[in-house]
Structure formats: C-alpha cells, structure tokens
Chain A
C-alpha cells in the first residue's frame, strides 16, 4: 500500500532507524553533558563606593573601582559620615569583569541583577512602596588604559520589595532586609572587553527622590553571561544540524512534488515545520562573534516562538487529518479555531518580548517590570498567552480523544472491509499511533529533563568526570526536537512503493527505488485528500457507514 514511508517500512528497518535516532539522541546529550561547561555563569560583584569630590561636574567622569586610575573610595558609610560626604557625591562603581579577566563576544549576552543590602534601623525604615531612583551609566573600552566610551545613560526607577523577617525591635537593628532581586540591565551582545557601571542614588527631599529607602549598606550586582565553551558547543551543534535538516527537507519536498497530485495540507505543514526548524538551526549567531548585533537575543526569541507555534499547529493539523470522520478538511481555514489561540498567544508573547527586549535595544536598563503599568501590562500579556495555551491544549486533548474514539470504532469494522480500505485505515491508525507515541515520548523527555535541570544543582559527579546536567538538557532537548522533525519528514514522506500484489501486512520487499514515481497509485497520504482510485474507497466508505 502506498502511503507514507513509515507504513511501508519493514519492522526491522523501522527498528534500525529508531536505534540510529536514539544513538544520535544520546550523542546530543553527551555533547552537552561531557563536552560543554555549564550554560551560563553568574559572577557576583560588590559595588565600590567611590567619592566624587567635585560638586558640579561639567563633563562626565567615569569612576574605576580598582586599577591604576582608581577612584577615591570609602569602605563603609561610617567614613562618609565622618568626612561629611553627602549621598549625592557617592558613586557606586562596578567593573565587569573582575581584574585580569576579559569579556568576550562568545558570551553572547549579559544580564545584570541588582541587590541592595539595607540594614534595619528602628527610626529609618523602608517605607511602603519605596522606589529607588538610580542614575546609571554604562561605558566600555577594549584596552586596559584607554578612555571609557559611554554606551548608555539612564535614570531608572526600581521598586524596593524588601521585607524584614524578624520582629522590628531595637534588638534587631543592623540586620538586613531581605530584598527581591531586581533586574537591572540586559545587553544582547558582549562585543567589548571591559564594561564599567557607575551608579548614583541622588537624593532630593523636595521631590521625594530616594527618600525613605532605609540605610543602604552595600550594593551588590550579579552579572550573568553564557559561557564561551557552551556557546562554541552550541554553535557547532547548530552548524551540524542545519544541513541535516535542510537536506532531508529538500529530499522530502522533492518526493512530494514528484507525485501526480498537488501536496495536501499535512504535507505542507510538515514542510513548514522543517522550515521553522531550519530557521532556528541556521547559525547566524556566528556573525555575533564579529559584529555587534545586540538584537540577537530578540531574534533568538522570535525564532523559537515561530518554531513552537509551528510545532503546536502541526500537532493540531496532524490530529485533524487523522480524524477519520470522512469530513473534507485539508484547508488551513478549517483549523482556525484551534490554531487561532496559538497565533494569538504567540502574538501576545511577541508584543511582550518587544516591550522588554525590544526596548532594551535602545536602553539596556529598561525593564517592563519596573513600573506599575508595565507590570500590569506584562502580566496581562502573559495571562492571555497562558489562557491561549490552556485553550489550545483543551482542543488538542479533545481532538486526540476523538481520534482514539474513531479508531476504536474503525477497529471493530476493520475485518469487514475490503482489503484496500482496511490497509488504508490500518495505515492511518499506525501512523497516528506512532506519531502520538513519539510525540508523547519527546514531550515527556522535555518535561523530565526540565524538572531535573531545575531541581538539580547543575552538575553531577560521575566518577572522575563532571556531568553538566543543564548543558545536557539544552543540547539534548534541542537535538531531540531536531531528530523529531527529521524523523517526521523522513517517515511521513510519501512512499514510492507500489501498492499492488504485496502482502497485506503493509510490509514489503526492500530496495524499491523511486523509479515508479510517475505512476504512483497513491491511496492517500492524508485521509481526506484523495486522488484517482481512492475516490471509490471514499464513496464505499460512506456507503458502508450508512
């Protein structure tokens, strides 16, 4: 029977294909676990408290926390009190990275998180809803002696979410508040070697700026960047995967075009899935090594978003095309109800991402979560996206349930059918169940590994070696979905095998080339789109139902 390759393949060959894919899968996990370092590094910094001795500065001065041109610094604010230094003259300086290190464009991105150490004082407590206003500047340079070049400058407001866990008594003065981490900065490319952050917390009593924020003891920052080693492994993986998916995609589409009938919806969707996978795979990130492309982070999000929505749409359409209820679908518009939530949900996330990472292209300190309105807006987008996701999964579950109901209905009537019709349905059921199984397996793997990587410390010790669980998760899962798309394109490509006098089991002799493509008597690749002889079966099917 001429259906998809998967139906016509011998069990032996199918097992071989399966094992090969599993081997690649294991390889993908191993690359991440054994070869790559952990995906990201967090580096803690304590801001150096520099003293700006000049009252009104004409031009911008950058304060270095250490090194030859270090600023005049104080260790604690006790000294500042003694020397009568005002809050407005204190500059918090942080140099990224630490001495003797260099940043590199292999780090891909850099996030900075801000934390305040605020001591509890009975008569100087943090007021409710206190906002802290930070006058912050970011500069870079590429050698250790040159001048700093300003990259960004901004007045930022952040809400102090601090609580004091013990009782607020005189006894407990000097203990620190526990404050939430504040997202502070995000840059989408690390193309310079040295970065310098200068922060001031200007006080203005009249305008109530930085009043009631308690007694600040220290400012701590944490910078997060992708590890260079992980980036290299990741790039290598992408560079390897791109041609693999591309080749199978071309091969798949050639097969489809060789058929006498035009491609059906499901075939087009599979191709679209392949294209979106290739879109993710194409290692454009290589350019970020030599070009200062800050939009790479946003672009990566968009690519992933497109792939996810394509994958979700594929599942819906695959289920729909295997419903076996004799309804003519094969049009994208039929699925608007199911695909609508996906499109709308991802659109919401896209808008949200544009509001966050999009704005960060111009102001790296921007955070949508910093303002009241922004937080509500962001939450609204995320909630709508969440609702869309729920809706989608309801639809999907309902469809899968319908398919299974139809399958069990068909099962009972199978023996009574004609041979060709029976094979057709058996093929459908097999195809569906196979994909269902593989999809469930992949989804379960993703969830399991996600949980492991969340719960775990990040690396396991395995004898002498350290296994980087988080890296293994990324490379493994990425490899897995690539293999998934690969397998779908390979196994669900139309078979060239001629249906005729072979055994009814759907298995056939190996080594059949694509020679007979011209006179393909495809029963169908999808159930509804029928061409040629299958029209009869459809009619007979209808008759049988009646």
Chain B
C-alpha cells in the first residue's frame, strides 16, 4: 500500500540501499535505520567489487557505482541525511517516518504515489545532491566542479578561469544516479513521471535557495573588487522547503499531449504546478490504524500527543478520535549543563514530573 512507497522513495529506495548492507543475507525485514547504521560501520565503498555486491542497485546504477566509486560514500551519507530529515519534519504527524524502521525493505507493489511518497523522493534526491556537493568541497571527490562545466573554454581550465560551482556536479550526479531507476523503467508510467518530477523538485529546493555571499577586497578592502559565490543552504532549510511543498502538493493525473505523457492537475481549476512543487497521484490513507497486511502501517496507538494543540500533533487529531491516556512520569533531565563546542557536556541530573499523553 501507500507505505511501501515511502520506502520506495528513500534513497535507499526501492531496495538498492538494501544491497549495501553486505549482500550476504537478504534480510528483507531489516530495519532501514539499522542497516544504514550498519552500512556506516562497514566503512567506505572503495573498490568496484563492492558495487557488484550491492544488491538492489539496477544494472545502470552498478555501472555508475563502478565508474564513480568514490562518490558512493557520499551517497550513503546522503541517505542517512534524508532519513534524519524526514523523521524531523514528520515528528509531529501521524506518519512520522519512523514507520520505515519496522518496515520491510521491499514494498509489495509500488503503484500508489501519495503525498508522503512525493516528499520522500524529493528529500532523497536533494540529500544525494547535497551530500555529493559537500563531499566535493571537502576534497573527497577527485572529479568535481572543475572538470565539468568549466565556464570559458580554455585549455588551462582551472589555472585560467577557475572552477564552476560544486553544486552543479552534485545535482548532475543526483540526476544520473537517482533518476536512472525511473528512466530505465521507461517514462510511460505515471508513477515514474511523478517520481522524476519530485526528484527534480527536491533538487530545485536546493538550487533555488542557494545563498549568494560576497566579499569585498579592493583597495583598502573597498568594494571596488567584489567576489561573490553561491553557498548551499543548510539541509534543515532544504527540509523545511520540501515540507512546505509537501503541504501544498498538487494532485495530478497523467494525460497524453501529442506523443508525450505529462502530469496535469486533477482539478483543472487549480493552477498548474511548477517545477518546484511536489505532485502526487493518490490521496494518502489516514495512517490511523495498524494494518498487518501493509507492512509499516503502524497506526498511532501508543504515540505521544500534545493535549493543548489543535494541530495534527494534538491529541484530538493524532489519536484519530480514539482518546488518549495521561500518565505522570518522572523524567530524569539534564540541567545546568556546561557545554564545550564539541563532544563534551557536564550536567547535573534534575528529576521532574511530566504528564505524558499517549493515544489509545
């Protein structure tokens, strides 16, 4: 059902992350988080042989993997980034991305494209672009920026005219690696079209929010000479943008115009979606109840809710009208802490009683 799509969309999606595990045991019910964690402990994907062992990648992706092994580490980090961000953005909703944890890696049938699927696809494509760009700027990748898209054609390249932005490489890589799954299926299915659109929308969320920063360095530091560059927005910002697009996503259907198939808004009175908007094909289920037949459909039983809120995190909506229990719990909290900028905190323990509301 719908749930499958989420996982279908994550970078590790439709399964190719699964393969990164180690390929020996096919544990389809492995939790995504667990195997990603495992993946990060596996160390980096260094040689081309690893690409072969990564199951779940389609043939074209294995080729890309072999061609650019060094990038795969960044892709892996991107996947983790996407999951973290998804869980953060959806922490107060009925579907809170954590459902992925208990979900089988393989979905049954990936035919439905809900809003949530749109979000997951977008954030995944964005996270790959983001992580690869980051890796570029830290020098992990050898063929970033300069070798691609050097503005001003000249033999000397870097020495003559410098490098182009790393983001161009990151986005191009995301396009070739993430989109290739959909493209290989052929662009005929509406689901492929939707995924491609949302992937692109995710990357646009980075591209259209690049910050331009400038530095003046003329005579005596005057602005006679000014150099500007584009800086990537923090990923939290990208997540927020995509979440906003999620809230305003457009329901679409496939229509044939001439020989090409395109997606158009189902309701013709809505204005057509732009490249940056998310689109979906099916309305989402309510995510209220546990469904044994749909892996990952956990329902909201036992979820914490906010009694005072009227929004989706409020007990009313979160518990789907089933009501909630209130418990008084003693919480051991950290207080009057002393922080270092990294890695070290010295705190006292404070105990306090907190009311916790959980859905029935």
Contacts and interface: CB of A to CB of B under 8 A. Distances in A.
B229 A45 contact: no
Contacts of A454: 223, 226
Contact of B88 (A80, A174, A450): A174
A176 B234 CA distance: 7
Interface string B299-343: 000000000000000000000000000000000001001111111
Nearest to B161: A37
Contacts of A316: none
B186 interface: no
A216 B341 CA distance: 6
B229 A42 contact: yes
Given A37-B152, A111-B215, A215-B341, A176 B236 contact: yes
Interface in A72-104: 75, 77, 80-81, 84-87, 90, 95, 97-102, 104
Contacts of B343: 77, 80-81, 84-87, 90
Interface stretch (B46-54, B57-65, B120-128, B137-145): B137-145
A201 B136 CA distance: 24
A48 B341 CA distance: 16
Given A80-B342, A106-B159, A229-B152, A44 B215 contact: no
Contact of B142 (A37, A99, A229, A353): A99
B72 interface: no
B228 interface: yes
Nearest to A81: B343
A282 interface: no
Contact of A48 (B138, B159, B229): B138
Contacts of B226: 453-454
Interface stretch (A220-228, A252-260, A495-503, A522-530): A220-228
Contacts of A95: 139
Contacts of B217: 111, 224
A458 interface: yes
B161 A38 contact: yes
Contacts of B162: 37-38, 40-41, 43, 225, 227
Interface in A181-212: 181, 183, 201, 203, 205, 210-211
Nearest to A177: B234
B144 A213 contact: no
B138 A65 contact: yes
Interface string B200-241: 000000000000010101011101111111010010110000
A328 B206 CA distance: 69
B146 interface: yes
Contact of A46 (B77, B138, B236, B337): B138
A224 B221 contact: no
Interface string B328-360: 000000100111111111000000000000000
A117 interface: yes
A214 interface: yes
B158 A86 contact: no
B163 to A, nearest CB: 6
Q: Max chain B CB contacts within 10 Å: which of A75, A101, A214?
A: A101
Nearest to A454: B226
B151 A466 contact: yes
A98 B341 contact: no
B236 A175 contact: yes
Given A42-B228, A98-B144, A224 B152 contact: no
Interface string A220-246: 101011011100000000000000000
Nearest to A229: B160
A66 B140 contact: yes
Nearest to A76: B77
A459 B151 contact: yes
A66 B88 CA distance: 32
Given A45-B138, A124-B337, A124-B339, A175 B158 contact: no
B93 interface: no
Contacts of A65: 138-139
A223 B152 CA distance: 20
Contact of B163 (A43, A224, A353): A43
Contacts of A468: 152
Q: How large is the interface on B (under 10, 10 to 19, 20 to 34, 35 or more residues)?
A: 35 or more
B230 to A, nearest CB: 9
A214 B342 CA distance: 9
Nearest to A297: B217
A520 interface: no
A85 to B, nearest CB: 6
B156 interface: yes
A215 B227 CA distance: 29
A126 to B, nearest CB: 10
A183 B213 CA distance: 13
B161 A77 contact: no
B154 interface: yes
A349 interface: yes
Contacts of B158: 97, 101-102
B134 interface: yes
Given A98-B145, A117-B234, A203-B341, A44 B159 contact: no
A44 B136 CA distance: 9
A115 B215 CA distance: 12
A77 B144 contact: no
Given A123-B337, A356-B221, A222 B215 contact: yes
B174 interface: no
Nearest to B144: A98
Nearest to B341: A216
B305 to A, nearest CB: 16
A45 B137 contact: yes
Interface in B80-103: 88
Given A45-B139, A222-B229, A224-B227, A75 B342 contact: no
Nearest to B136: A98
A153 interface: no
A44 B213 CA distance: 11
Contacts of B137: 44-46, 98, 220
Given A46-B138, A213-B341, A353-B220, A40 B225 contact: yes
A87 B344 contact: yes
Contacts of A352: 220
Nearest to B165: A44
Given A99-B139, A353-B220, A203 B163 contact: no
Nearest to B151: A466
Nearest to B77: A75
Nearest to A103: B159
A40 B229 CA distance: 10
A87 B152 contact: no
B160 A301 contact: no
Contacts of A181: 213, 215
Contacts of A39: 225, 227
B138 A224 contact: no
A453 to B, nearest CB: 8
Contacts of A356: 220-221
Given A42-B228, A46-B138, A75-B40, 4 more contacts: A42-B215, A86-B344, A203-B341, A224-B227
Interface of B: 40, 77, 88, 134, 136-146, 151-152, 154, 156, 158-163, 166, 213, 215, 217, 219-221, 223-229, 231, 234, 236-237, 334, 337-345
30 contacts: A37-B152, A37-B160, A38-B151, A42-B227, A43-B163, A44-B229, A45-B139, A48-B139, A66-B140, A75-B40, A80-B343, A86-B340, A87-B341, A87-B342, A90-B342, A98-B144, A98-B145, A100-B142, A100-B143, A100-B146, A101-B146, A101-B158, A106-B159, A124-B339, A175-B237, A205-B338, A215-B339, A224-B217, A301-B220, A349-B220
Interface of A: 37-48, 65-66, 75, 77, 80-81, 84-87, 90, 95, 97-102, 104, 106, 111, 113, 115, 117, 121, 123-124, 174-176, 181, 183, 201, 203, 205, 210-211, 213-216, 220, 222, 224-225, 227-229, 300-301, 304-305, 349, 352-353, 356, 382, 450, 453-454, 458-459, 466, 468
4 closest residue pairs by CB, A with B? A41-B162, A37-B161, A42-B229, A229-B160
